[in-house]
A and B are shown apart, each in its own frame.
Chain A
Amino acid sequence: MLELALKGTKRYYGWMTFLVVIIGIGFLIYLKQLDFGLGITGMSRDVSWGFYIANFTFLVGVAAGGVMVVLPYYLHDYKAFGRVTILGEFLAIASVVMCLLFIIVDLGQPMRIFNVWIYPTFHSVLFWDTIVLNGYLFLNLIIGWNVLEAERNNVHYQAWLKPLIYLSIPWAVSIHTVTAYLFCGLPGRGFWLTAILAPRFLASAFAAGPSLLILLCLIIRRVTNFDPGREQIQSLAKIVAYAICINVFFFLCEVFVVFYSNIPEHMDHLKYLFVGLHGKTAYVPWMWASFSLMAVGIILTVTPITRKNEGVLAVACTVIFLGTWIDKGLGMIAGGFTPSPLHHVNEYIPTLPEIVIALAVWATGFFILTVLFKIAVGVKEEVQ
């Protein structure tokens, strides 16, 4: 099926060239990072994880969000999603690849990465994260590819795929749960030390993932002869509406517990993010923007008139995607490290090289996503 990705319009090749250029620039800067060390980033002794791990965390969510089309189709026999399940699975593949790349660019000694498997350490959550992420990648590759090929050949997919498909559903939940456990099991990090973290991660995942999928469906409809379908997009929009409401609700639960209990160790991080601490306020406008965007997203997706208008829905999905990205991709990591365990406020600001490397990882993900979607849409156009 790969040949379907080789034949394309000028616009397709233009887009791919654009991505390759970004990947190339990012790769050169990554070589610089390999040579100099992670000191070219804005990370420090106090804020020892930054933009890379934040984007990793966000993208684990996007990957897990793919299950929101797989589950209704295979478990509830919601036939309409049959048209878009492959898109969800392929989005998951691209996202997990980005996650793995973000982990690699974040390592101080990337050439030693296989130490994680040479010395498997069961009490380390990071070990389990590598297992669930790689497992999810392979599950989606095997399932997506075989189901699509069966569709192309006009036959039913192989019977042995069924158990794997069922397995992929809880597995999607596991990737984001384990990723939350990376953070919420650490003593002395008051911001993350909350049982709501994994559920909150999942809620924001099920908002961000399907939002991106809706946007991608709208683009596919515009640039190809395949229409993912109005009903499909509307159903996804309802999923987004529920998920973003639950995400904000979970956040408010956290705010209540933190401020009503009045425990400084837990309050200081939220204060730092939303009003600033010790005069340091870099994240304040971002966090308010994030929650304003999510609020707008809630209004637009919950209200039937706006949700049913696909133009408005596209805006809603964009603001939800951006809002959840700022929340998880900026605030979640920096906020957890500030103030530091010794209660110093050293702000983390990503540097330009760091941002370019991150952009290149995103570009790699979108390159893979475009190839996979090109194939999927090519097959759909063939069988139509």
Chain B
Amino acid sequence: MDSSRRRVLQLFGISSLALMTRPVYNALATEKHAQKAKEQMIRGDKALTAKQWAMVIDTRQFESAEDMEPLIEACNKIHNIPHFENQRHEIKWLWEDHYHNVFPGKGARFLSEAVESRPFLVLCNHCENPPCVRACPTQATFKRASDGIVLMDFHRCIGCRFCMAACPFGARSFNWRDPRPFIKETDPKFPTRTKGVVEKCNFCAERLAEGKLPACVEAAEGKLAFGDLYDPDSEVRELIKTNYTIRRKQELGTEPCVYYIV
């Protein structure tokens, strides 16, 4: 072939021009002919809605760890939460701890014996100003605008664990290894997770969508209340109004949505 270098360069130039025409053509074509599908979220007829979901825990009604077991068990079961012997790998959505761990810095010197011995339920606070959402670099964790639940997209999470450092409540767990072999009985209605992603309590968003209350609330038989914080007639508002309630680390300004009657 004669003057091959020039010829090759010309070919390259023409082919790259040809490649560029396709997106232009597509852009013009879609304008008139193609119909764009609009993304939309459809809510079921029975779905429970709120401006900001909140929980009130009546801690007076829990005397021992046994009282909490059914709640934690219900949560673990429907969310496919694995059980690890190795404490470093553990995954917790809903668990119990002592008063001075749940409310560090809030304990009186000679605390009432009942409060000292009573277990306290701990879970994600679904804060109104969640620091975890601020920290996440991919919006894999986000605050759902429709009802204020702080949710996780397990498929977007890159596993950087910035949210775990940001959460002042230790509410988040990381899958240090494949959790699936450690799930007692897999519930096909909720996704299992892969190694390398973060997870936490989701206020049972999947149950609310079907018109059911969170599993722990259902199992608590009245010891937990759940409702809309911004509905003045809701049960949670009534309880907050008529009882003295405290929240965890309220001074940090995250506005936790889990209230405790002590």
Contacts and interface: CB of A to CB of B under 8 A. Distances in A.
A37 B92 contact: no
Given A108-B157, A109-B197, A119-B138, A38 B176 contact: yes
A124 interface: yes
B137 A121 contact: yes
Interface stretch (A59-67, A172-180, A184-192, A303-311): A184-192
Contacts of A41: 176
Contacts of B131: 186-188
A112 B175 contact: no
A46 interface: yes
Nearest to B157: A109
Contacts of A43: 88, 176
A285 interface: no
B54 to A, nearest CB: 20
A41 B88 CA distance: 10
A48 B174 contact: yes
Contact of B104 (A44, A130, A182, A265): A265
B156 A341 contact: no
Interface string A262-286: 0011000000000000000000000
B172 to A, nearest CB: 8
Instruction: Say what secondary structure dominates the interface of chain B.
Output: loop
B8 to A, nearest CB: 26
B137 A38 contact: no
A159 to B, nearest CB: 30
Contacts of B105: 264-265
Nearest to B249: A188
Nearest to B84: A39
Nearest to B155: A112
A124 B196 CA distance: 20
Instruction: Say what secondary structure dominates the interface of chain A.
Output: loop
B158 A108 contact: yes
Contacts of A110: 158-159
A106 B89 CA distance: 16
Interface string A137-178: 000000000000000000000000000000000000000000
B196 A341 contact: no
A379 interface: no
Contacts of B175: 37, 108
Nearest to B173: A45
Contact of B174 (A45, A112, A346): A45
A128 to B, nearest CB: 9
A187 B158 contact: no
Contact of A37 (B87, B139, B196, B254): B196
Contacts of B162: 124-126, 182
A343 interface: yes
A260 interface: no
Interface stretch (B21-29, B73-81, B95-103): B95-103
A183 B162 CA distance: 9
Nearest to A189: B165
Nearest to A188: B168
A125 B156 CA distance: 18
Interface string B164-190: 111111100111111000000000000
A103 B100 CA distance: 35
B239 interface: no
Given A37-B196, A107-B159, A124 B136 contact: yes
B50 interface: no
Interface of B: 86-92, 97, 100-102, 104-105, 122, 131, 134-140, 156-162, 164-170, 173-178, 194-198, 249, 252-254
For the complex of A and B, list the 5 residue pairs with the smallest distance between their C-beta atoms, beginning with the closest: A108-B159, A188-B168, A108-B196, A39-B176, A37-B195
Given A108-B160, A126-B137, A186-B166, 17 more contacts: A41-B176, A43-B176, A45-B164, A45-B170, A48-B165, A108-B161, A108-B174, A108-B198, A115-B158, A116-B137, A183-B165, A187-B166, A187-B252, A341-B170, A342-B101, A342-B102, A342-B169
19 contacts: A37-B175, A37-B196, A38-B196, A46-B170, A48-B161, A108-B157, A108-B175, A109-B159, A112-B156, A115-B138, A115-B140, A124-B137, A126-B137, A126-B160, A265-B104, A341-B169, A341-B249, A342-B104, A343-B104
